[in-house]
Amino acid sequence: MIEPMRQRQKLAPALLRWYDSHRRDLPWRAPPGARVDPYAVWLSEIMLQQTTVATVKGYFERFLTRWPTVEALAAAPLEEALAAWAGLGYYARARNLHACAGAVARDHGGRFPSTEAALLALPGVGPYTAAAVAAIAFDQPCAAVDGNVERVVTRLYAIGTPARRAKPLIREKVEAMMPAARAGDFAQALMDLGATVCTPRAPGCGACPWSADCAARAAGTQEAYPVKEKKAEKPKRRGGIFILERGEETLLSRRPEKGLFGGMSAFPSTPFTRDVAPDEQLAFAPCAADWRALPEPVSHVFTHFALTATVFTARTKSPKAPGANCRWASRANLDREGLPTLMRKAALLAGLI
């Protein structure tokens, strides 16, 4: 048994050695030793919130190509940023991304602040992202605790408290092992370890630089961590989506700024905040028309409810003026309108794209 203080001081060097030969090559990472662009680090961190690396890669490249600097992104209309974000989910991130770019351009002269506290004050930047950007982009010794780090640390110390309440303790443990140099590499190494070795299922303890120090491994209970709170049951809801066509055009509406799909373009629909039974769905149609239900509904599972939506279609020649937040979109361009995935599914089912 290694004496505790000595053990703690050996953790970071062992992890950094492992990282030097096993680090993942990712589009937002600079080659070893090279300097990273804080804008690229921040952009990647926002996209990676609750989203997989594989999904993010394409979006990251497109955003960086289209808006190479934070000033360019700040100058873009919000609608364009939202459309480019379509399909990534959690659209509040895109609204905050745009607001954050504006704040950096306006209040910080186009340079991201380098301290955790100043970063935390930016829209869409919470405790994790502030620490991650400070560490990765500015090499500040900040503890970036994400889901990966939670898993690694709860296993390393066999912390049986549900992860949400264990956050402060996890942070303490990370700070205690934080090396004086290479703070950015350390933060990324911890996340790489969680993503590639200390995985949720079937962790590769044989390849782990910390396996000899790991309390859960010693007890053979790796997969029992992190302990999760039991989550509430997911309600099932029904609803309707209305696709109105006029010649080669389709009616789109802009969703309210807050709530589901906030600020996004979408087909008019019933509210999704509650279950809307089939016999009351047509009352939410954008106008009177010969609405026909498609034979198959679209099913879509959100984080907090599962939706089965009937897709109604109708044609019109001269409808009443569409609502203030409605517009006609060319069907040929529908693919580029930046529809949320649920709405894309409906368009696909209706044969529009």
Which residues have a catalytic role annotated? Answer: 45
Residues 212-241 that bind DNA (CB under 7 A): 228, 231-232, 234
Q: State which of residues 30, 78, 92, 215 lies at the interface with DNA (CB under 7 A).
A: 92
Report the nearest approach of DNA to the CB of residue 239 (Å): 13
- Tokens 């990647």 appear where? 44
Rounded least distance, CB 199 to DNA, Å: 6
Instruction: Find out whether the peptide bond into 209 is cis, omega within 30 degrees of 0.
Output: no
Whole-angstrom distance, CA of residue 126 vs CA of residue 85:
20
Size of the site for DNA (CB under 7 A): 59
Please, which residue, 169 or 282, has the CB nearer to DNA?
A: 169
What does the block give as tokens for 35? 């300097």
For the record, the structure tokens of 203 come out as 């962790």
Of positions 15, 166, 189, 260, contacts DNA by CB under 7 A: 260
Asked if 205 interacts with DNA (CB under 7 A), we say: no
Q: Which of 1, 5, 34, 54 binds DNA (CB under 7 A)?
A: 54
Minimum CB distance to DNA, residue 195 (Å): 5
Tokens of residue 303, six digits: 């984080």
The amino acid at 124: G
Could you say whether residue 169 binds DNA (CB under 7 A)? no
The token pair at 182 is 């290479």
Figure out which of the listed residues 38, 194, 286, 297 binds DNA, where binding follows CB under 7 A. 194
Q: Provide CB contacts within 8 A for 14, sequence distance 6+.
A: 209, 210
Nearest to 265 by CA among 219, 166, 334, 215: 334
Residue 43 pairs in a beta bridge with: none
Q: Does 178 bind DNA (CB under 7 A)?
A: no
How far is 179 from 319, CA to CA, in rounded Å?
66
Of these, 13, 58, 200, 323, which contacts DNA (CB under 7 A)?
Answer: 200
- The CA distance from 280 to 272, in Å, is 13
Query: Residue 97 CB, nearest distance to DNA (Å)?
Result: 10
Nearer Cβ to DNA (54/277) = 54
| Minimum CB distance to DNA, residue 238 (Å) | 16
Cβ-contact 223, 205 below 8 angstroms: no
Closest approach of DNA to the CB of residue 151, in Å: 7
The contact mask relative to DNA for 266-295 (x = CB under 7 A, - = no) is: -------x----------------------
Judged by CB under 7 A, the chain residues 97 through 156 that form the site for DNA are 123-130, 132, 146-148, 151
Q: Tokens in use for 91?
A: 């659209």
Tokens 């209309």: give the residue: 77
CB–CB of 174/12 below 8 Å?
Answer: no
Tell me the closest approach of the beta carbon of residue 3 to DNA, in angstroms.
Answer: 31
Interacting span for DNA (CB under 7 A) from 168-176, 281-289, 328-336, 337-345: 337-345
**With respect to DNA, which residue has the nearer C-beta, 146 or 286?**
146
Q: Which of 10, 37, 90, 158 binds DNA (CB under 7 A)?
A: 90
| Residue 102 CA from chain centroid, whole number | 20
Indicate the length of the chain as a whole number.
353
**Of 32, 103, 90, which is closest to residue 59 (Cα–Cα)?**
90
The torsion defined by the Cα of 173, 175, 178 and 180, in degrees rounded to 10, comes to -150
26, 72, 287, 293: residue in contact with DNA (rule CB under 7 A): 26
Neighbours of 303 (CB within 10 A): 9
48 binds DNA (CB under 7 A): yes
Residues 290-329 that bind DNA (CB under 7 A): 300-304
Give the list of residues 6+ apart from residue 292 with CB closer than 8 angstroms, or none: 312, 313, 314
Q: Which is nearer to DNA, 65 or 303 (CB)?
A: 303
Chain residues that interact with DNA, rule: CB under 7 A? 24, 26, 28, 44-45, 48-55, 86-92, 96, 123-130, 132, 146-148, 151, 164, 188, 191, 194-195, 199-201, 228, 231-232, 234, 259-262, 273, 300-304, 340-342
